[in-house]
């Protein structure tokens, strides 16, 4: 079956957070996709609605088996269903873990630039966001870990948690297995629990696949809470469904208490059937989606190289979010983003949202029909050239 990724959807006036904009504006911002999800998922949800009874739900054995089978088939990674717990989202799980697994005033380590909502989980919980900066090589437009600084931050006695983004948002970087082992071993050395957000793991578009942290050698996964979801993969963020995978039984018990204490462990009526359908029937749709997204990314890179030579795309291999170096144009990406919106109606994320050296970057979502990607890039070129 060939799936349709070319039809432009009208998402205005649908309560879409991203599309609550003025008539001529094009928002290439919030990380959801402008494609209909897989029809197999919609069919499963319609069947549930047709049942007409919408009482309390619980995650079934079928749900956890579907998660395990997906990771075995798609990523050659074994996850025992007994390691799993249902949660209403990756961020709610992170917030629950920050509150339950650390104390007020503790440091929570991050690798900047990084997904901005992590800071809400940390700061709203009375903890300190404690960043280490990824090294940026402007000659190759690539990032790497500053291992000395990472260990220095871990050595601080108030550092008790680390939030890892695997693959990394916004850079699209896919950590190697060896890098993950080194990070987690360092965390173990200093008694730090690692919470790994792997929501973009299914969206590696080219190159080596990502490594789920729960699949690392047994001695390297004892201090890790892995969080996965169909949210980004299948464009079902509003399902509010995620899975915590925690191999260590003691840490798993703490995770279970955390998500129950903060009431983020109960599914809504569509979360279970929608997720099961995604994991058991959605592979073909996803494989076609990734080819389409890679085509979008290749088009963007070629367009920027030809028309905007002062902009440089960071060569990430995962996610549908593109991180672009604009330092030859400005050192104030927030003002640049504002001017682009004012002049052309294109809305993009300034890199300042993601801290670190973000003032030199912008982030663009390319999970759109090709015609809208072309429209967005024309607007970007108009704004930059002016």
Q: Do residues 38 and 281 make contact, with C-beta atoms less than 8 angstroms apart?
A: yes
Based on the fold, state whether residues 251 and 302 are members of the same structural domain: no
Residue 117 within a domain? yes
Based on the fold, state whether residues 227 and 370 are members of the same structural domain: no
The average pLDDT across 59-66 equals 98
Query: Does position 93 have pLDDT exceeding 90, yes or no?
Result: yes
* All residues at 6 or more sequence positions from 163 whose CB lies less than 8 Å from its CB, including other chains: 94, 108, 109, 110, 114, 118, 121, 122, 195, 197
Q: For the packed helices 271-281 and 39-51, what is the interaxial angle rounded to 10 degrees?
A: 150
Q: What is the pLDDT of residues 216-254, one digit of tens each?
A: 999 999 999 999 999 999 999 999 999 999 999 999 999
The CA-based dihedral angle spanning residues 185, 188, 189, 192, taken in that order and rounded to the nearest 10 degrees:
130
> Which among 320, 354, 380 has a CA at the least distance from the CA of 112?
354
Residue 333 within a domain? yes
Based on the fold, state whether residues 291 and 323 are members of the same structural domain: yes
> Which of these three, 233, 251, 279, is where a domain ends?
279
What's the pLDDT at 7?
98
Q: How many CB atoms lie within 10 A of CB 282?
A: 25
The average pLDDT across 81-110 equals 98
Residue 344 within a domain? yes
Based on the fold, state whether residues 27 and 65 are members of the same structural domain: no
Residue 85 within a domain? yes
The average pLDDT across 127-151 equals 98
**260 band by pLDDT with thresholds 50, 70 and 90:** very high
> Which of these three, 262, 279, 296, is where a domain ends?
279
Pairing between β-strand 135-137 and β-strand 346-347 as defined by DSSP bridges: unpaired
Based on the fold, state whether residues 190 and 336 are members of the same structural domain: no
Based on the fold, state whether residues 349 and 271 are members of the same structural domain: no
Based on the fold, state whether residues 60 and 32 are members of the same structural domain: no
Q: What is the pLDDT of residues 276-328, one digit of tens each?
A: 999 999 999 999 999 999 999 999 999 999 999 999 999 999 999 999 999 99
Residue 126 within a domain? yes
- The domain spanning residue 291 has which CATH number? 3.90.1150.10
**130 band by pLDDT with thresholds 50, 70 and 90:** very high
Q: What is the pLDDT of residues 167-196, one digit of tens each?
A: 999 999 999 999 999 999 999 999 999 999
Q: Which two tokens stand for residue 190?
A: 């200093």
Based on the fold, state whether residues 208 and 226 are members of the same structural domain: yes
Summary mean pLDDT of the chain: 98
Q: Do residues 293 and 203 make contact, with C-beta atoms less than 8 angstroms apart?
A: yes
Pairing between β-strand 159-165 and β-strand 193-197 as defined by DSSP bridges: parallel
Q: Considering its fold, how many domains does the chain have in total?
A: 2
Residue 242 within a domain? yes
- The domain spanning residue 233 has which CATH number? 3.40.640.10
Based on the fold, state whether residues 238 and 352 are members of the same structural domain: no
The average pLDDT across 136-152 equals 97
Please state, for a pLDDT cut of 90, what percent of the chain lies above it.
100
Residue 138 within a domain? yes
pTM of the model: 0.98
Residue 161 within a domain? yes
Altogether, the residues listed in the chain come to a count of: 386
What's the pLDDT at 72?
98
Query: Does position 119 have pLDDT exceeding 90, yes or no?
Result: yes
Query: Does position 386 have pLDDT exceeding 90, yes or no?
Result: no
Q: Do residues 283 and 328 make contact, with C-beta atoms less than 8 angstroms apart?
A: no
Q: For the chain, count helices (H), then strands (E).
A: 12, 15
> Which of these three, 210, 245, 279, is where a domain ends?
279
Based on the fold, state whether residues 53 and 192 are members of the same structural domain: yes
Cα distance between residue 386 and residue 302, in whole Å: 20
What's the pLDDT at 229?
98
Based on the fold, state whether residues 256 and 361 are members of the same structural domain: no
Residue 57 belongs to domain spanning? 43-279
Based on the fold, state whether residues 95 and 28 are members of the same structural domain: no
* All residues at 6 or more sequence positions from 124 whose CB lies less than 8 Å from its CB, including other chains: 95
């Amino acid at each position: 079956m060939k799936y349709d990724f070319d039809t432009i959807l009208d998402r205005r006036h649908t309560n879409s957070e991203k599309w609550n904009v003025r008539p001529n504006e094009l928002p290439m911002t919030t990380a959801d996709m402008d494609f209909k999800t897989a029809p197999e998922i919609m069919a499963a949800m319609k069947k549930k609605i047709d049942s007409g009874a919408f009482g309390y739900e619980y995650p079934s054995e079928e749900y956890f088996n579907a998660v395990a089978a997906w990771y075995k088939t798609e990523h050659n990674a074994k996850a025992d269903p007994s390691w799993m717990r249902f949660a209403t989202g990756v961020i709610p799980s992170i917030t629950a873990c920050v509150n339950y697994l650390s104390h007020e005033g503790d440091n929570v380590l991050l690798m900047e630039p990084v997904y901005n909502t992590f800071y809400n989980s940390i700061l709203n919980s009375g903890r300190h966001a404690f960043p280490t900066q990824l090294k940026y090589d402007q000659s190759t437009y690539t990032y790497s870990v500053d291992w000395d600084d990472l260990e220095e931050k871990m050595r601080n006695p108030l550092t008790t948690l680390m939030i890892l983004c695997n693959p990394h948002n916004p850079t699209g970087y896919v950590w190697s297995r060896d890098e993950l082992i080194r990070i987690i071993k360092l965390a173990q050395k200093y008694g730090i629990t690692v919470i790994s957000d792997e929501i973009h793991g299914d969206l590696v578009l080219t190159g080596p696949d990502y490594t789920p942290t729960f699949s690392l050698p047994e001695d390297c996964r004892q201090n890790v809470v892995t969080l996965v979801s169909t949210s980004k993969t299948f464009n079902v963020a509003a399902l509010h469904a995620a899975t915590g995978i925690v191999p260590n039984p003691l840490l798993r018990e703490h995770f279970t208490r955390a998500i129950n204490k903060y009431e983020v462990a109960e599914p809504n009526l569509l979360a279970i059937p929608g997720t099961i359908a995604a994991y058991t029937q959605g592979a073909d749709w996803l494989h076609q989606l990734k080819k389409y997204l890679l085509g979008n990314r290749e088009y963007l890179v070629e367009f920027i190289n030809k028309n905007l030579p002062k902009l440089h795309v960071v060569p990430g291999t995962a996610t549908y979010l593109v991180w672009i170096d604009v330092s030859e144009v400005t050192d104030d990406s927030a003002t640049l983003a504002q001017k682009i919106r004012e002049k052309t109606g294109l809305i993009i994320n300034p890199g300042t949202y993601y801290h670190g050296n973000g003032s030199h970057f912008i982030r663009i979502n390319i999970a759109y029909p090709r015609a809208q990607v072309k429209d967005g890039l024309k607007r970007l070129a108009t704004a930059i050239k002016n």
